[in-house]
Amino acid sequence: MGRLSGRTAVITGAGSGIGRAASLLFAQEGASLVIADKAETVNETADMVRAAGGKAAALVGDAGEEAFVESLIGRAVSEYGGLDVCWANAGVSGGWTEFDQQDAAFWAEILRVNLIGAFLAVKHASRVMLPKGRGSIIMTASVAGIRSGAGGSPYSASKAGVINLAQTAANEFYGAGVRVNCICPGLIETGMTKPIFDGARARGNEDKIGQLNPLARYGLPGEIASAGLFLASDDSSYVNGQAIVVDGGLSSSHPVVRRKR
């Protein structure tokens, strides 16, 4: 029996990267899935799940729009009869726009997707979970939400908000049995970070990606998916309101350029 056998999970941002890795892993562990992404590639993820013997329904839409999030949760209920896990993983980076070139609209869009989208997932998932007295809600934050140096200002602020949302929402559901946590990935090779990796490979210095953390390497989507599986399963039954950092140790210090031993 898999750790998620008999359970239903919703995962956003499932068209690539962390969301795709999580979809494949959760299905492997027995979950029935409803997955979403703004990109049509979410259908490819669903095909991969089904090819491996799993169950997945795919929807294309914007995880920052309330009507879509509500329909996504509703689909889980109508398709599989309930909801046990919701992972609000969808997000945008905003790139590295110079601070004085940013405007309110730029900030608003990043906050809409990254933070308000996470709030909407918590809101609508909890409405299904609270009457049952159990459920796990996961959000993708970032080490950028912990301190400076891992992303642009609006992205970092949005992820700091996600970390705080995990803490406050966990307390909003006091005594209800619904857990809310987030994961703070370090540098992971995903569609969002593709420009970083493409640039490094073009320069021939791919081996330097991730050199500032003690493991001296970048992370893989599957490593974040594994942390998500822990939070989704009963293995984390006493973990609530936490920001789980998965970054190779990057946030354990103020990074400096180090020499290998």
The catalytic residue positions are: 155
- Residue 237 phi/psi, 5-degree rounding, is -60, -20
Residue 107 and residue 158 in contact, taking contact as beta carbons nearer than 8 Å: no
Strand partners, 8: 32
What are the start-end ranges of the E strands in the chain? 8-12, 32-37, 55-60, 85-88, 135-140, 178-185, 243-246
Q: For the chain, first and last CA: distance in Å?
A: 44
- DSSP readout, 41-93? THHHHHHHHHHTT-EEEEEES-TTSHHHHHHHHHHHHHHHS--SEEEE-----
In this structure, what token pair is assigned to residue 102? Answer: 């940013």
- Residue 131 phi/psi, 5-degree rounding, is -65, -25
Element (H, E) at 203: helix 194-203
CB 198: neighbour CB atoms within 10 A?
Answer: 11
Long-range Cβ contact pairs of 96-103 (< 8 A, separation 24 or more):
96/152, 97/152, 99/153, 102/153, 102/154
